[in-house]
Structures are given as C-alpha cells and as structure tokens.
Amino acid sequence: MTDSSTDPVDRFLDAARDETAELPFRLTGVMFQYYVVCERELWFLSRDVEIDRDTPSIVRGSDVDDSAYSDKRRDVRVDGIIAIDVLDSGEILEVKPSSSMTEPARLQLLFYLWYLDRVTGVEKTGVLAHPTEKRRETIELTPETSAEVESAIRGIREVVTAESPPPAEEKPVCDSCAYHDFCWSC
C-alpha cells in the first residue's frame, strides 16, 4: 500500500480531475510504449529530445495509422492529455503496423481506457488493430489491467524524474529505433 499523498498515481489522478491543478508529471500513451520497449528511449522522450520522424519504421507506422479505418473513426483529444481514435461503434482504437510489439501497444491502449475510466468516468472497450495482418484484439480494463497501468505509471515517473538516462542496453529493436545513433553516441 502506498501513501496517497506521495503515490504518483494518486497525485496524477487528483491533478487530472481538477481543471485548475497542474499535473505533477507528463504522461502520454507513447510513454507507456517506450516504458515497455526501452526506458532509455522513454527518458529521452521526456526531455523532448526530438527523433528522426523520417526513419522507415516511423513512416510505415504513420502510414498504416493514417489509412486504417479512416472512414470509421474520429480523432478525439481528452483534457489535452490523451489523443484517441474512437470507432463508430464507440470502441477506442489503437492501430499498429505489426503485432511484433503487441505488449507495448496493449499497455498504451490500456492507459487510454484507464484514463477515461478513472478521470472522466467513461467506461470503454478498446480494439488493438494490426490492419496489415488483418488482426484485431479486444482489450478491456479489469482490476488486474488497471493495476498494471498504475504500476507502469509509477515506473514511468521513476524513469522520467531520474537525473540521467538509464544505461544503454542492446536490444533486438535497437537497429530500427529512431534514437539509435543518438542513444549509442551518449
């Protein structure tokens, strides 16, 4: 059990629910992805280190996201904190070009569902879609997945408030990472 006055989850929720309060730290859906894939990448993102948006993997992901379900979804921004795609059915959609990184995408979508539920009181179901593979997975917020999101929030806060980035660690995704050259030169 954590002390609610110092627990990052409680502090974030209190501030997000109060329009006049300043958030204690920034959280975005992408941060949840990076937290799973590479904490060093997350630390760079938290410092606004810009990446090369023209890398093949970024361009491919953007192209798939822009074209998939374009006639069946609308973009919605919530509280200036999350940007989600809502299908005509009301489900929250997260589109990824490949299922090779399902866990990071799943956690990102769970954060959106958690935020909607805990901050706005709106319960939704999510759809994780990989259109190039013609795959869709329904994602639901449960007590277990809520706890997973809250654990990730605490972990993300720990990474982004650190004085220096976590040490570089060679991973299979490094070669296609937009931060690759920057990361390994620091």
CATH code for position 81: 3.90.320.10
Asked whether residue 172 is assigned to any structural domain, the reply reads no
As given in the structure block, the two tokens for residue 91 are: 């489900």
pTM: 0.85
Domain that holds residue 101: 8-164
- Give the model's pLDDT for residue 132: 78
Whether 74 is in a domain gets the answer yes
**Is 180 among the domain residues?**
no
Nearest-angstrom CA–CA distance, 167 and 183: 9
Cα 129–132–137 angle (5° rounding)? Answer: 20
Q: At what angle do helices 102-115 and 143-160 cross, to 10 degrees?
A: 100
Report yes or no on 175 lying in a domain: no
Rank 19-23, 52-56, 97-101, 155-159 by mean pLDDT and report only the highest.
Answer: 155-159
- 43 or 59, which is more confident? 43
Residue 85 has pLDDT above 60, yes or no: yes
Give the chain's mean pLDDT.
84
Q: Looking at the 3D structure of the chain, how many domains does it have?
A: 1
Q: What is the DSSP letter of 158?
A: H
- Looking at residue 123, its amino acid is E
pLDDT score recorded for residue 163: 95
What was the pLDDT predicted at 57?
54
Model pLDDT, residue 11? 93
Q: Considering the domain boundaries, does residue 88 fall inside one? A: yes
The answer as to whether 169 is a domain residue is no
Provide the pLDDT for residue 55. Answer: 55
Residue 147 pLDDT > 90: yes
Most trustworthy range by pLDDT among 19-33, 138-152, 171-185: 138-152
Q: What percent of the chain has pLDDT over 70?
A: 84
Q: Is the pLDDT of residue 125 over 80?
A: yes
Contact 35, 155 (CB under 8 A): yes
Domain assignment present for residue 105? The answer is yes
Contact call for residues 60 and 70 (beta carbons, < 8 A): no
Q: What is the pLDDT of residue 180?
A: 78
Please indicate whether residue 21 or residue 115 has the higher confidence score (pLDDT): 115
Residue 186, domain member (yes or no): no
106 CB neighbour count, 10 Å cutoff: 21
pLDDT-derived band at 140, boundaries 50, 70, 90: very high
Q: In the sheet where 126-130 sits, what is the strand order?
A: 73-78, 82-87, 92-95, 126-130, 135-139
What number is the average pLDDT over the span 37-64? 72
- Class of residue 105 by CB neighbours under 10 A (exposed 0-12, middle 13-18, buried 19+): buried
Give the Cα separation of 147 and 22 in Å (integer): 24
Residue 86 predicted with pLDDT over 80: no
Going by C-alpha positions, the residue among 27, 129, 145, 158 that lies closest to residue 82 is: 27
